[in-house]
Structure 1
């Protein structure tokens, strides 16, 4: 074997080691040694000879050397993480473990045990507060659910490592970033559930989740560095691009835009009894609990007064309606009546690969009931086409993972598109409604908590418009494009029409100067009387002008890898910049 061939094999083994060690959680060896820019971008190279000849170490040879030192310096390993002390403590005593999968197992076990402790404590806390404060009881119920989902996300990472294939290494890295971001979002959702509750239960849960959150964050930081490395170190045979194809073999291109009558459903729901079921929940009870094939539920015209949950692991369910004003699902759970925001959703999507077409989702509680979610999406690779999502405050909860919305109309008042998913909206209408007296309106409130999380709200070729009742108000209500719900809030509005009712400053603070330096807001090539950026805010985190290359990164082909899972569905989709 020649030296070049040997070096290549050693380097490939090294990359495999790095992925296996870093792919799950808890600041394990490998990625942090690579270096790279502080913003998680591409890793720089110092120009070594990649051929392996001439006596100069190639980047691939360097990887092997870095791995050798990875078990020798916890400080170096943990250098790029935000929670260095927690990272270093987590590595204590593991230096004698040389099998990467055993290292992952140790890490995985540590974090999962920490979260399970929090789940157990939540049950004990609930016994203590039962009958005393319903809001705390509801928050603990939310914690029990979302913390289990956080464990599920960590388990996905572990399973991905167990099924490791070098040829799909970049595919793995992308998924791991999404799922680790999801794990962080679920932990944060538990903490958020205690807002405006009495007593110290919320602080106790926050303390219980501190280590798990920090270790998950450290793992995500390492994966982010690893992703940067992949774009710099080119190794023959690596697969670049995803291959999820959630609908492969089920829907030929174009079927989901055809006349619903031409699509043969698995189940028909009709209020008049002309289908197999009269309610959507009854129809869902007939779907296999761990479904993994495309399962079409045709919902005939009618108003369905029910709360619908498509549960975790019930994947690839499709809701087809007869039009968003004809087939509507409605409820009225709300914060004022004692229900936590997460639990107010009329429809909650938790099964991956969900698609909705020609459906209306509504929370009819009204502005006076404050937080009242019409649709919560907590599932990966979901698509919504020609849907209406209607409420007032907190209408659409883009909670986590990858989401795509096309030709939809979303109405609301305050923070009415919020959450921490990778969510792209194309050709959608955001219609601002009349709020309560003395309220301002915000279209978005993005909730990225950690710098390395993948989440962001992207509006591309959308229209931001006033409802007639809002437009008629005198004096006019202040309306903003968004405000930062979490410290690293990220929102991009590009190629969109912005009507003149938007305040000239464009964006609103959350409270004081919170997140103004760390958020990431950008506008690009927008049009309309409200699109001028001349008088926009001057926050450090706001980008008045971004390059075409940077804007391109937020198109669904690049940001969501949509060519691999959106395009095969046949739903209208533009991969890159749109012609407007």
Structure 2
């Protein structure tokens, strides 16, 4: 029973009875026909009062993003109502992964609805891709339990297919990466200087120093990461890059990085080592077994 409830978590969308309306305007039919899942597109548009009077493709795109976000939020509410009682640690681990991934999916979808003034369709495409990848990662975590159930594909498809459609609706023209003096144009002047610095100079520029002998600000990297997170509590948005320097040593840690604009430096190959021992065989999921898990949307070096 717990397995079935756990699978229900996998991004269950609102399983409503969808029927194709004959009153869908021709322009919406045309736009929906250009998506990978046109019936999903038409059905959700037909059941949303905001679709009446849509004239431009831009308005259609905005509504498609909003519908996708709305369905994800509603699915999250349903998931909370059906949280299972875990029979073992691996079920609990998969549930924790999916909870975290789903929350991040909603955050990324929210960015597509409320993009910053300087954001482009390419940024929106990145956020949508991240949201979809989160769902696939959640699926991987669940499948690692060795669970197979016909309900799995059913409950995971609604939100996933809406995101896939949103990717097609938003798709910008191909863009070649541009470079300036060997660096991508998005790299700030300060970032370029940091990347060009010698290791010893970077250590002096560090905002925080980690040293196991107590000669730095902290003895563990995790403590430094948590400190930087206090400087950017929202976890999103622009900001100055923060440099964390790790002195020589073997750091046996399992870290999750949620704060954007961070840069880690060390004393050199073989001198500064970060190692972890989590694995699927040991009861962790693949998603949660990374020694350093980077889980933010902007600029990790």
TM range (shorter): 0.7 to 0.9
User: What is the 5 A alignment of 1:109-508?
Assistant: 109-126=66-83, 128-130=84-86, 132-160=87-115, 163=117, 172-197=120-145, 204=151, 206-224=153-171, 226-227=172-173, 247-251=187-191, 253-263=192-202, 264-287=205-228, 288=231, 289-290=233-234, 292-311=239-258, 314-351=259-296, 352-355=298-301
User: What is the 5 A alignment of 1:10-29?
Assistant: none
CA distance in 1, matches of 2:95, 2:60: 32
Q: 1:77 aligns with which of 28, 31, 34?
A: 31
CA distance in 1, matches of 2:25, 2:269: 57
Tell whether the 8 Å contact from 1:72 to 1:95 is kept in structure 2 after alignment: no
Tell whether the 8 Å contact from 1:265 to 1:296 is kept in structure 2 after alignment: yes
Unaligned runs of 5+ in 2: 1-23
Secondary structure of 2:251 counterpart: strand
Tell whether the 8 Å contact from 2:65 to 2:112 is kept in structure 1 after alignment: no
CA distance in 1, matches of 2:163, 2:187: 31
Unaligned runs of 5+ in 1: 1-69, 166-170, 232-239, 356-580
Partner of 1:8: none
- Cα distance, 1:207 vs. partner? 2.9
Normalized per residue, the structure richer in helix is 2
Distance 1:122 1:336, change over 3 A: farther
- Cα distance, 1:303 vs. partner? 0.3
Aligned residues: 263
- Cα distance, 1:275 vs. partner? 0.6
Tell whether the 8 Å contact from 2:243 to 2:262 is kept in structure 1 after alignment: yes
Tell whether the 8 Å contact from 1:270 to 1:299 is kept in structure 2 after alignment: yes
The TM-score, its normalising length taken from structure 2, stands at: 0.76
- Cα distance, 1:344 vs. partner? 0.7
CA distance in 2, matches of 1:268, 1:261: 13
Q: Which one has a bigger Cα radius of gyration?
A: 1
Normalized per residue, the structure richer in strand is 1
CA distance in 1, matches of 2:291, 2:81: 29
Secondary structure of 1:78 counterpart: helix
CA distance in 2, matches of 1:195, 1:119: 20
Secondary structure of 2:165 counterpart: helix
Pairwise CA RMSD:
3.1
Tell whether the 8 Å contact from 1:114 to 1:209 is kept in structure 2 after alignment: no
Distance 1:83 1:180, change over 3 A: same
